[in-house]
Structure 1
Amino acid sequence: MNRVIHPIEVESYRRMRARLDTSHLAPLTRAVVERVVHSAADLDYASDLVMDEDVLVKAHAALHAGAPVVVDVEMVGAGITRRETVCRLKDAVAGPGLTRSAHGIRLAHEQVGPGALWVIGNAPTALEELLTLDAAPALVIGLPVGFVGAVESKAALRESGLPAVSNVSEKGGSAVASAALNALLYHPVPHSEETS
């Protein structure tokens, strides 16, 4: 997919790379780190993010093969610029022991089934709920933000063994979560992926 890159973005990346050396990173890891750092203007994400290149390669293939993309909130979906997303938050209701965000994830799972890419940038309870489901995800981008539950939910994601992108700190949010997915969307598809 050809994307026209604005000169401001080109210059922004040039300045970022002058301050942050990502040349040692594997291609998709580098793409995710750079896009997240760029989206937040926060160089600390380079050492805060946790991901595996082999996982990203498989997720990239699934994404470009048409796997559904599920988001926890509309703001994450709004940041994903070249793909339709599923967000069921508006249909969700809170109940005993269940937040609206968690219920939205449950509804989305019922809709999309296994193999989706899940992008969670807002609610730790959404990520916690996803971990209770048999979602068999292609990838979970778990970057919820906050001082209550965010660190713990991301640690639980890493411990789950699911294919994931996460970070260690309280930082996160809609912009960085959508940036991580966009990095995979914008990264070129190798010829072998196109023909398989």
Structure 2
Amino acid sequence: MNQADLALAMGLAPVLVAADGGAEAALSLGRTPDLVIGDFDSLSPETRAALPADKLIHVPEQQSTDFEKALSRVAARGVLALGMTGRRTDHELAAWHTLLRCPSPRCIVIAEEDIVFLAPPRIVLELPVGTRVSLFPLLPATGRSQGLHWPIEGIAFAPGQAIGTSNRSDAPQVVLELDSPGMLVILPKTCLDAAVSALF
């Protein structure tokens, strides 16, 4: 997470919820979280003591990640998530697991170059022609598309079988229809506004 990405996200979603040690990252960038949710195993005692008690939601169970603890307890139309990618691979894989486990509220993960979200049953994206559109299945999936250079109809997507990375838009509007949940959509970060408009 960096200052530019935080400012970008806060411009669209002005309530800042930190997942456990994410509070430290937010504070280092000059932002005090509105809430901190997690098991607090990565929150320093000093930071915890400095935050008002009513901003802290302690969830001690260890069966879920802090991202899942936070996402499952946020009542919002949509969530923009930062700091989930680019460092530890196991944490990044856990983030995609969390998107699958918590389809509501809808969540867009902002990464270094891309944005990633779980596809709803139907989505209409307004994108510049030639935009990279990647689809990555976390579960077996089938569907239909309009506006993609390589249509997805007839493809049995599944991990280890068929994926849909590095497709691209051939029209200003891309329509995706999925028959079941579990498909990640990956777009360039410049498409954040389009994704927010389509999802939220």
Range into which the TM-score falls when normalised by the shorter chain: 0.3 to 0.5
Q: TM-score, length-normalised on structure 1?
A: 0.33
> Rg: which structure is higher?
2
The structure with the largest helix share of the pair is 1
Q: TM-score, length-normalised on structure 2?
A: 0.33
